[in-house]
């Protein structure tokens, strides 16, 4: 592994069209991706992730800024001169060729000898666990198998960087979850830098070393999955990655005596009977809904000022909780984080969440954006 970053994006910008029709797809993006990282670009539809990926691949020229691969400026280089390969969502396999021929194709173009070609293709097929499928045609494979062939084809000439554009998007939920595990294992095995575009936060959290969260063409936060989930820096990130309560500045001040907008994860909130320790924040409200989810239940509460609050609590702690009844909730002061207020999050609902794409446990993209006073 090299100390030189695999990819550096410097002040990257891309706009399409001109004048009043100008669309700024990517704006002021600065990003460093290390050698050997599994790095995800996460964001809602239209946030600029694919455009960034296409610029790294060389399919799109930046309007401004620079792209460096292994320290070399490739901004103006043609795609085939860059040491990167791309796996697209639709796989783009050659239907008339066998699986092995598909994988060999890139090596043939590079004039690698016949025996060497076959050997490397067979080896790659083994790494994607399809050793016995080399003679089949793509039409004789399942979606997940085709996806793995596409991966093998992209990896066989050992690019320094592999770009993956929603590669699991077309798979059903179960296969997708299996492929997430496999993809990560394959990446670890081959040690190649993966840049993975997805709008599915669960996918990004479970696979990545680090994630960049995109909103409206800009990066709102870069961090490890844990950093992003536990310490979202903006209200957009808090709501897009998992579910969050975003407390307005007025409510944060009233409840916690702190300045600015704060976020609290629903799973950090408990049901309590009375005031608890000094280090905790307690608040009273009325239960508006209880959703039973098995081990846990999700309680929606309305606070005195009309703000909603969401709590995820163990179902066996629900005694005495009833819709329309009073409730008291508490959370540790350490569970609340100041966030920059970047939302409007209702937009996310409108143009991003495709329910069939998202695993059940991640269909909770709602943000509870409290209205307490000053918004």
Question: 177-186 long-range contacts, Cβ below 8 Å, gap at least 24?
Answer: 177/359, 178/144, 179/144, 179/147, 179/148, 180/206, 180/207, 182/128, 182/129, 182/148, 183/151, 183/207, 184/38, 186/127, 186/128, 186/151, 186/155
* Shortest Å, Cβ 210 to ligand ATP: 18
Size of the site for ligand ATP (CB under 6 A): 13
Residue 56 class from Cβ within 10 Å (0-12 exposed, 13-18 middle, 19+ buried)? buried
Cα–Cα distances in angstroms (integers) from residue 30 to residues 13, 321, 356, in the given order:
10, 48, 32
Contact indicator for 35, 227 with CB cutoff of 8 Å: no
Minimum gap (Å) between residue 48 Cβ and ligand ATP: 4
Q: Please state the closest distance from residue 356 (CB atom) to ligand ATP, in A.
A: 15
Q: What would the x/- binding string for ligand ATP be over residues 311 to 330, using CB under 6 A?
A: --------------------
φ and ψ at 197, to 5 degrees? -95, 130
Q: Which of 7, 29, 37, 43 binds ligand ATP (CB under 6 A)?
A: 43
Say how far apart CA 185 and CA 44 lie, in whole Å. 26
- Which residue, 105 or 214, has its beta carbon nearer to ligand ATP? 214
Shortest Å, Cβ 350 to ligand ATP: 13
Buried b (16+ CB within 10 A) or exposed e, 208-224: bbbbbbbbbbbbbbbbe
| Cβ nearer to ligand ATP, comparing 201 with 297 | 201
Residue window 44-73: x/- pattern of binding to ligand ATP, with contact defined by CB under 6 A: -xxxxxxx----------------------
Nearer to ligand ATP, 15 or 209 (CB): 15
Taking residue 100's Cβ as centre, other Cβ atoms within 10 Å add up to: 21
DSSP class of residue 373?
Answer: S
At its nearest, how many Å lie between ligand ATP and the CB of residue 199? 5
CB of residue 17 vs ligand ATP: minimum separation in angstroms?
Answer: 6
Measured on CA atoms in the order 52, 53, 54, 60, is the torsion positive or negative? positive
For ligand ATP, give the closer residue by CB, 26 or 329: 26
H helix or E strand, kind and range, residue 143: helix 143-155
* Burial profile 148-183: b = 16 or more Cβ within 10 angstroms, e = fewer: bbbbbbbbbbebbbbbbbbbbbbbeeebbbebbebb
Of 50 and 147, nearer to ligand ATP (C-beta) is 50
Q: By the 8 A CB rule, do 235 and 263 touch? A: yes
Q: Which is nearer to ligand ATP, 51 or 208 (CB)?
A: 51
Q: Which is nearer to ligand ATP, 75 or 89 (CB)?
A: 89
Q: How far is the CB of 90 from ligand ATP (least distance, A)?
A: 13
Q: Residue 18 or residue 319: which is nearer to ligand ATP going by CB?
A: 18
User: In the window 8-37, what residues touch ligand ATP (CB under 6 A)?
Assistant: 16-17, 23, 25
Q: Which residues within the stretch 71-110 sit at the binding site for ligand ATP (CB under 6 A)?
A: none
Rounded Cα distance, 21 and 59, in Å = 22
Least separation in angstroms between residue 40's CB and ligand ATP is 12
* Per-residue binder mask for ligand ATP (CB under 6 A), 265-304, x = binder: ----------------------------------------
For the record, the structure tokens of 23 come out as: 């669309």
Least CB distance from residue 206 to ligand ATP, whole Å?
18
For position 199 contacting ligand ATP by CB under 6 A, the verdict is yes
| Beta carbon nearer to ligand ATP, 75 or 98 | 75
Contacts with ligand ATP by CB under 6 A lie at: 16-17, 23, 25, 43, 45-51, 199
């Amino acid at each position: 592994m090299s100390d030189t970053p695999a990819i550096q994006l410097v002040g990257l910008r891309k706009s399409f069209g001109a004048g009043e029709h100008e669309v700024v797809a990517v704006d002021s993006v600065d990003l460093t991706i290390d050698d050997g990282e599994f790095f995800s670009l996460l964001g809602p539809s239209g946030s600029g992730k694919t455009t960034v990926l296409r610029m790294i691949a060389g399919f799109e020229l930046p309007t401004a800024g620079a792209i460096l691969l292994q320290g070399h400026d490739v901004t103006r280089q043609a795609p085939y001169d860059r040491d990167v390969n791309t796996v697209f969502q639709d796989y783009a396999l050659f239907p008339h060729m066998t699986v092995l021929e598909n994988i060999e194709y890139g090596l043939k173009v590079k004039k690698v000898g016949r025996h060497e070609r076959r050997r490397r293709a067979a080896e790659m097929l083994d790494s994607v666990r399809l050793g016995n499928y080399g003679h089949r045609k793509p039409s004789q494979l399942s979606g997940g198998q085709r996806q793995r062939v596409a991966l093998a084809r992209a990896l066989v000439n050992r690019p320094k960087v592999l770009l993956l554009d929603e590669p699991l998007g077309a798979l059903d939920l179960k296969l997708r979850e299996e492929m997430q595990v496999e993809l990560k294992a394959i990446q670890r095995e081959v040690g190649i830098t993966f840049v993975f575009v997805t709008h599915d936060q669960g996918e990004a959290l479970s696979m990545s070393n680090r994630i960049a969260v995109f909103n409206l063409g800009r990066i709102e936060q870069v961090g490890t999955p844990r950093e992003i989930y536990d310490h979202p820096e903006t209200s957009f990130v808090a709501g897009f990655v998992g579910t969050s309560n975003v407390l307005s500045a007025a409510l944060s001040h009233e409840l916690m005596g702190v300045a600015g907008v704060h976020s609290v994860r629903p799973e950090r909130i408990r049901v309590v009977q009375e005031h608890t320790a000094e280090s905790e924040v307690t608040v009273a409200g009325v239960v508006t809904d209880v959703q039973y989810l098995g081990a846990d239940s999700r309680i929606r509460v309305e606070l005195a000022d009309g703000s909603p609050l969401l709590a995820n609590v163990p179902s066996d702690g629900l005694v005495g909780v009833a819709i329309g009844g009073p409730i008291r909730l508490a959370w540790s002061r350490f569970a609340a984080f100041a966030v920059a207020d970047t939302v409007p999050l209702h937009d996310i609902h409108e143009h991003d969440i495709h329910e069939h794409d998202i695993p059940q446990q991640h269909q909770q993209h709602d943000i509870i954006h409290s209205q307490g006073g000053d918004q």
